[in-house]
Structure 1
Amino acid sequence: MEPSSSAATAAAATSSREKRKHCVPTAHETAKRLKTEQESEGVEEGPHTPRLPRISVLLNHLQHPITLNELTELLHYAALGKTGGIKQPSWCRLHHQRKVKGVNVVIVQGLTQSHFYKHYLTMRHLRTNYSSRVTFTPSSDNVASRIFGSEVPKSDDPSHSQIHNDSGLHTALLTHPVITKFGTQRRGLTAYVLTQEEMIKRHFPVKGMPGFEEFVCTDSVDCVTDSSPLYGLDCEMCLTEKGYELTRVSLVDSDGNCVLDDLVKPQNRIFNYLTKFSGITAAMLRPITTTLRDIQEKLKVVLPRDAVLVGHSLDSDLMALKLIHQHVIDTSLLYRKEFGQKFKLKVLAETVLKRQIQTEEKQGHCSIEDAVAALELAQYFIKTGPHQVVENHLEELWGYRIEEEFTDCASAPTPSHRFADILQTLGQSVAFLGKRSDVALDLSNQQWHSSDKEVLASFRRRPKCPFLSVLQFSSFSDHLKDCVPRQELQYKKVCANLRDLCVVFAGPFPVGFSEREVKRLFRCCGPVRKIKMLITTVRVHAEVEFELLEGAVLALKTLNGFHLQGQSIKVQRPVYESTLDLDLTLDALMGDTLNTSHLYAVKLKPIRETFSHFGTVERIILPAKPGKHARHAFIKFESSEGKWAALSSSEDLWKDDYIICPSLTPSHLRSWVAGTTTQSTVDAEREDEERTHMHTTCQEQEVELKMRKLDRRLRKLFRSLPDYTLSVVVLLGHTSAQGHFPGLCFMEVKKGEKSDPAVQKKGRH
């Protein structure tokens, strides 16, 4: 691979501006088409993937700092969910929120985003165990107090009012099987459509699962809406030499009109017509020629693509039909009993619909009648809402009654909308552990400690984790207060160290070589932020500062040794104290959770679908302000295999003018250096002098030690959390008259740690 070929490409790009302008929209269209998953619910899980709770940041919010209000928006949804009338956060997605078992927030005072990346190698737990990371806007408010005292938004739906009203839901109903499963508010039909995981658990036929290879799939859309049509379905079976087989199928539309009612001739010899239940006799089936295959084809034609099938114990009907339909509602699972027991359709119809079906005077069941009953039971449940259904039929169906908790309505307390109050009303525990401060929480729920060590020890000694816990670590903030005169200088040095990562020195250049010409040459490796010409008495050099760390890496890879007007230029890293461990930092960044399947690519023509040959490309992320000449992008593969396949073919990609390297910039950063610029700057000459010659001071060693202790404590805390707890760590950042230093928010839903012997042995203690 010759560097000169890259330079030749760069030169060609410089002379073809009009052509590039014409091609730019294509790249944006490609990116737009490939990013759809992140802007909705995220990547879909396969049929064998367990539906565990997880969190992801929406693509269009990745590089936007979140505020304290947006953080509380997430906490409200994580704790209360849609059953509490809370909508998904506007900036992220918490998938399968119902399975979240608790919420833990750690507030780290005094630390900024820049501190984390300055001590990146030290913060091993934070950089490896949290899959979501986003910049946090510093707040002047007491963050812990704001979390507990934040107002939970009211829902327009009156059925949500119980989370705001102490008397809205009787405590006896909190553990009712219907309320536990579906919550209390009235929602659309999609809330009751079985998930794929539930269908597998309930033995419904599911595409891709073993045993259903010969089943026929309906032409169903991927997602249904609350306005999708409901169709009631019921089948009758007989017993043959091969088991139960279909003898009759009935389908009714959402108005109860029959759209299909056919008898079916079983393929195998019949042992028992089950006439008592099915109503089918030998005489009825004798002239029938309709086969199961015929019925399957009819159903595929009759059912709209967005149809939702409704039935009672619908899994048996679909098994008899040998049919796979993606969207179903099972009334036997709506009107739930304890311990997985089910009501009979006859009982539900009599109690809820006030209608007699399957009566003894009739010979067998009428499948049309049963299909209509199941349909109307589902429609009633959706229209009425689970809370009201339970109250309306509590004694008739579930066999007990409750007394009103407040006999005098005037004595009922004024409802509170505060987050902590609502959780405690619902029987959930809340707690604050940290230094004594003005936290909007009852004193009985607070524990004050003088050190981070005591906060952690106290939390881990608890026999049971609170549902919502907020821990405040203050040792780093205390350390910074002890050195106020040097605090701003320390912040600036941290920022300057990050800038060093993106800098290369290059030269010598020909006499008269201008800053503009240097920028034109180096921007083929990525967006250039700043050029500083270094002119000695004999030769010309330049300091090139890239927006992204990848630009500096590619410049070293492709332009070092490049021949320019008959002489070779050298590209090298500056040797600063901050860059001594750069190789370790680069290795760690390549393995960062946020970079696992990401690739950074530069092409002088617009990015096309070249990379799809190496694996499924999930999305292409173009920077907000792409360079005018070089087209650069982050390419996210569905898995890391695609990334490494592309890297192994870098020589072939080079021939097609692509320059690639593993991603090093976490997705929440617009640039490594833009976020580190402060309003007041230190004189550049003096800053360079100080950075080049100053050895690590005792104070810096102390900071490094504190960062190491902090990471170790956060790891111990994370391991002590129950599985499926949403863990949030917030580095608060810092704002002063001297500058704005953003913080950083880490988020992860803790998965099981059964595979970790050390954790199993130690447990919570």
Structure 2
Amino acid sequence: MMDPPSAATGGRGKRKKTSAAPEKNKRLKMGEDGEGMDGCVHPTHSPRISLLLNRLQQPVTLNELTELLHYAALGKTGGITQPSWCRLHHQRKVKGVNVVIVNGLTQSHFYKHYLTLQHLRITYTSRVTFTPSSQNIASEIFSSEVSNSDGPSIHQKKESVKMHKVNLCSGAALRCHPVITKFGTQTRGLTAYLLPLQEMIQRHYPVKGMPGFEDFVCTDSVNCVTDSSPLYGLDCEMCLTEKGNELTRVSLVDSDGNCVLDELVKPENRILDYLTRFSGITAAMLRPVTTTLRDVQAKIKALLPWDAVLVGHSLNGDLVALKLIHPHVIDTSLLYRKEFGQRFKLKVLAETVLKRQIQTEKKMGHDSIEDAAAALELAQYFIKTGPRQVLERHLEELWGYTLEEEKEEEITDSSAPSLSLRFADILQTLGRTVAFIGKRSAVALDLSNQQWHSSDKEVLASYRKQSQSSFLSVLQFSSFSDHVKRCVPEQEQRYQRVCANLRDMCVVFAGPFPAGFSEREVKRFFCCCGPVRKIKMLNTAVRVHAEVEFELLEGAVLALKMLNGLSLQGQSIKVQRPVNESMLDLDETLDALMGDALNTSSLYAIKTKLRTAESMNISAKVNGHTVGAQFPGASTIKTANGPCPTKAHNKASKLTEETVRETFGNFGAVQRVDLPAKPGKYARHASIKFESSHSKHAALTSEDLSMENYVICPSLTPSHLHSWVSLATTVDAEGEDTEKTHVHNSHQDQEMELMMRKLDRYLGKIFKSLPPCTLSVVVLPGHNSVHGELPGLCFMEVKSGSGGEQ
């Protein structure tokens, strides 16, 4: 959809000076309500989605995605507020929600196959990086708690029910219990009881990337936990030192209850109290010990399989003592839940559920092996028995309820809404249908709402055959995940190749440079085109060349257009791209990126550093044209005193939002200005998004811009990326010299390409089948590897209310 022409269509007119304060207020208002975020004209009162300005380059989590889904389905009438990271406009017009989860794919896969995935890059106008989750995404969507659901349409009768008066003869009454509210009534696999990332953060579990855990060690765990993954019980004992609680003993038991690790540990700091009455540790026991914290960290990493699940009672304290980060945990203190956040002691649960005495007064302190084994058995019992049976067997002993108490308080009105806060339960209470279609999974739904299929083709056919779409439908494609599992030995090598191919798009080779030219001088020479990430000098016996890697695609494009053929100290410099297979479709990819829905009204601008240019005696010729001449797709702006730079202009090299808005506002309303800069440094380049694509065109085609020392070109790097090479930063430094060695497996490459084409076709058919005004979300989940987090990608679009495909 084309934008209407802006009132300001050129740069020849006088600049109109306006107050900075009203302009700022206007921008803030735009960011808050989201109007005009994509620069398009929208049908009146048609639902649409937009990202908040301050969240463009921040990844969203699974919890934030469910936040959007809750608002889309329930809205303000259901007591739900707008999501914290985006805006869904005219939510009341939303007629349904559809989520497609494509397991096994990452953000890098999308940009590697960018040209192939035409439907995804054209149809979805909102795109944001997605943080990988250890949880089952489909299950979390259905079972996520709607914490703010206080609207009259949902809980209008909740005051008539007393939670502490439960009658097990009524199935609906079970939903009042905190265990059922959290886990439902069905017996499910262990993945249903893993602690979600957001809850781990809230309960102070060590989480990678969170403040305070920078020096913690991560286990070699990846995002491949299944219901058959092994459970390991863990328990630690601590003592009090000058620095606080420190580890003195750690015990690990396997799923059969066998102790595989039991070590005493020497604290690093002076011990103030051995806490013997709790830990059982004495000075005599620790005196001969030489084992350190680092030693036991290494042993645990070596012992745990890559898909291990750790079990413990209030396990966060143990992991903090170990200074260990593990993403897959089950906390038994949160399985057997009590009201108001209270928790049972491990000793009470072991005695009531396992009929076993632990932590008795006869023993001196706790036995960490015994405690680890008890927590493990409690988790295994809960998983095997199921939440409902656990309640029926231990309701009176643990929670103090009788089987039939206060019968007169029973709910007799069959139409009374459920008190469950689970998303799926609330929707069904309101008469809205929910459905899951995919491979068999631990989804918190009745079997009547699930359809299990063995292939993506069957999932698609099943959805399209529905006579009436469910209000909330979640589809799960698993063919890519299956493909990845089949190629496990080659997977890391193939991912490194994807990273290398993406990185190559930001690389240019340049030379020959004058003898003795240094890496620092090369960087100063090329930074006039954009931020440089890395320089690699290529010294031969005769001449000096360099490999220059930019952070942004725009930098490489401008380097080719501005610096190729330029004379440096009397020597002509040649700038060219790498010559390899990954570059064959580059021109087509760049054209597609220019027309990407995220870039249609955006420009990239740099502020040249004239002192560098002068010191290097850069010629006034750029690709055979004087500085300031036009070249395809980019504009170089003349200086005020002609093409020859002077030192007087160095003061103007600093960019500010005010000056950028004042300069580019001559071509139309500027919606957003991004000025990325390192701490303590000022910005040298900017991304400018106009409210209209016509304003962008006017800026690109203007011949007499009065902006000093600017170079502009169409934006290429999508707005949700800090830089293009941020897609490919997980390869270890030791592998940098080998990462560009492209080892090919043509059969697997062809298979992957065919799968991508099929996926894009399937997604297009699903979108076409959606009813008008349906919020469509496509999630590439990403995953965690031994080399770090591989981010995913989330696409969002509301289908046009006219019923046609956008």
Give the TM interval when normalised to the shorter protein: 0.5 to 0.7
Residues 1:621 and 2:674 are matched in the alignment: yes
Partner residue in 1 for 2:574: 570
Cα pair 2:496 2:739 within 8 Å, conserved: no
Partner residue in 1 for 2:411: 411
User: Residue 739 of structure 1: CA displacement?
Assistant: 2.4
- Matched residues, number: 489
Q: How large is the RMSD of aligned CA atoms in angstroms? A: 2.8
Task: List aligned pairs for 1:317-356, cutoff 5 A.
Answer: none
Partner residue in 2 for 1:152: 146
Partner residue in 2 for 1:637: 690
User: Residue 736 of structure 1: CA displacement?
Assistant: 2.1
Task: List aligned pairs for 1:102-181, cutoff 5 A.
Answer: 102-155=96-149, 161-162=155-156
Cα pair 1:488 1:738 within 8 Å, conserved: no
Percent identity between matched residues is 69
Partner residue in 1 for 2:435: 431
Q: Distance in 2 between matches of 1:463 and 1:524?
A: 59
User: Residue 631 of structure 1: CA displacement?
Assistant: 1.8
Cα pair 1:433 1:448 within 8 Å, conserved: yes
Alignment counterpart, residue 446 of structure 2, candidates 442, 445, 450 = 442
Partner residue in 1 for 2:28: 36
Give TM-score, length-normalised by structure 1. Answer: 0.61
Cα pair 1:164 1:422 within 8 Å, conserved: no
Cα pair 2:78 2:153 within 8 Å, conserved: no
Structure 1 range deviating more: 701-710 or 630-639: 630-639
Partner residue in 1 for 2:798: 749
User: Residue 734 of structure 1: CA displacement?
Assistant: 1.2
Cα pair 2:161 2:409 within 8 Å, conserved: no
Distance 1:134 1:580, change over 3 A: same
What secondary structure sits across from 2:789 in the alignment? Answer: strand
User: Residue 656 of structure 1: CA displacement?
Assistant: 2.7
Deviations 1:178-209 (A, max 9, x none): xxxxxxxxxxxxxxxxxxxxxxxxxxxxxxxx
Cα pair 1:31 1:620 within 8 Å, conserved: no
Partner residue in 2 for 1:658: 710
Q: Distance in 2 between matches of 1:565 and 1:599?
A: 32
Partner residue in 2 for 1:277: none
Cα pair 1:133 1:746 within 8 Å, conserved: yes
Residues 1:593 and 2:642 are matched in the alignment: no
Deviations 1:250-284 (A, max 9, x none): xxxxxxxxxxxxxxxxxxxxxxxxxxxxxxxxxxx
Alignment counterpart, residue 508 of structure 1, candidates 487, 507, 512 = 512
Distance 1:486 1:47, change over 3 A: closer
1:477 aligned partner, one-letter code? S
Q: Distance in 2 between matches of 1:593 and 1:166?
A: 51
Partner residue in 2 for 1:714: 763
What secondary structure sits across from 1:490 in the alignment? Answer: helix
Distance 1:48 1:724, change over 3 A: closer
Cα pair 2:673 2:687 within 8 Å, conserved: yes
Distance 1:560 1:30, change over 3 A: farther
Deviations 1:124-171 (A, max 9, x none): 000000010000011111110000000001356778633978999xxx
Q: Distance in 1 between matches of 2:56 and 2:523?
A: 28
Q: Distance in 2 between matches of 1:539 and 1:153?
A: 66
Distance 1:450 1:554, change over 3 A: same
Partner residue in 2 for 1:459: 463
Higher CA-based Rg: 1
Residues 1:486 and 2:490 are matched in the alignment: yes
2:717 aligned partner, one-letter code? T
Cα pair 2:670 2:691 within 8 Å, conserved: yes
Deviations 1:544-584 (A, max 9, x none): 11111011111111111222111111111111211110000
Cα pair 2:78 2:151 within 8 Å, conserved: no
Deviations 1:486-540 (A, max 9, x none): 1111111111111011111111111111111111111111111111111111111
Cα pair 1:62 1:667 within 8 Å, conserved: yes
Q: Distance in 1 between matches of 2:68 and 2:556?
A: 37
Structure 1 range deviating more: 660-669 or 733-742: 733-742
Q: Distance in 2 between matches of 1:477 and 1:48?
A: 37
Residues 1:554 and 2:558 are matched in the alignment: yes
2:664 aligned partner, one-letter code? F
What secondary structure sits across from 1:438 in the alignment? Answer: coil
Partner residue in 2 for 1:327: none
What secondary structure sits across from 2:156 in the alignment? Answer: helix
Give TM-score, length-normalised by structure 2. Answer: 0.58
Q: Distance in 2 between matches of 1:539 and 1:475?
A: 50
Deviations 1:33-69 (A, max 9, x none): 7742452012269999511100011111111111100
Alignment counterpart, residue 424 of structure 2, candidates 397, 409, 420 = 420
Partner residue in 2 for 1:736: 785
User: Residue 31 of structure 1: CA displacement?
Assistant: 10
Alignment counterpart, residue 721 of structure 2, candidates 669, 693, 699 = 669
Distance 1:668 1:655, change over 3 A: closer
What secondary structure sits across from 2:410 in the alignment? Answer: helix
What secondary structure sits across from 1:89 in the alignment? Answer: coil
Alignment counterpart, residue 88 of structure 2, candidates 94, 97, 111 = 94
Cα pair 1:531 1:545 within 8 Å, conserved: yes
2:80 aligned partner, one-letter code? I
1:636 aligned partner, one-letter code? K
Alignment counterpart, residue 700 of structure 1, candidates 738, 749, 760 = 749
Cα pair 2:78 2:152 within 8 Å, conserved: no
What secondary structure sits across from 2:146 in the alignment? Answer: coil
2:32 aligned partner, one-letter code? S
Distance 1:620 1:61, change over 3 A: same
2:411 aligned partner, one-letter code? S
User: Residue 687 of structure 1: CA displacement?
Assistant: 2.7
What secondary structure sits across from 1:641 in the alignment? Answer: helix
User: Residue 611 of structure 1: CA displacement?
Assistant: 1.3
Q: Distance in 2 between matches of 1:149 and 1:435?
A: 18
What secondary structure sits across from 2:685 in the alignment? Answer: strand
Cα pair 1:680 1:739 within 8 Å, conserved: no
2:770 aligned partner, one-letter code? L
Q: Distance in 2 between matches of 1:31 and 1:705?
A: 49
Q: Distance in 2 between matches of 1:152 and 1:452?
A: 30
- Structure 1 stretches of 5 or more lacking a match? 1-25, 169-406, 760-765
Q: Distance in 1 between matches of 2:40 and 2:558?
A: 36
Residues 1:522 and 2:526 are matched in the alignment: yes
Alignment counterpart, residue 646 of structure 1, candidates 693, 699, 706 = 699
What secondary structure sits across from 1:594 in the alignment? Answer: coil
Q: Distance in 2 between matches of 1:680 and 1:119?
A: 24
1:680 aligned partner, one-letter code? D
1:41 aligned partner, one-letter code? D
Cα pair 1:103 1:468 within 8 Å, conserved: yes
Distance 1:437 1:80, change over 3 A: same
Q: Distance in 2 between matches of 1:592 and 1:740?
A: 26
Give the structure with the higher percent helix.
1
Q: Distance in 2 between matches of 1:627 and 1:521?
A: 22
What secondary structure sits across from 1:532 in the alignment? Answer: strand
Cα pair 1:163 1:425 within 8 Å, conserved: no
Deviations 1:275-308 (A, max 9, x none): xxxxxxxxxxxxxxxxxxxxxxxxxxxxxxxxxx
What secondary structure sits across from 2:523 in the alignment? Answer: helix
Cα pair 1:166 1:415 within 8 Å, conserved: no
Q: Distance in 1 between matches of 2:777 and 2:80?
A: 19
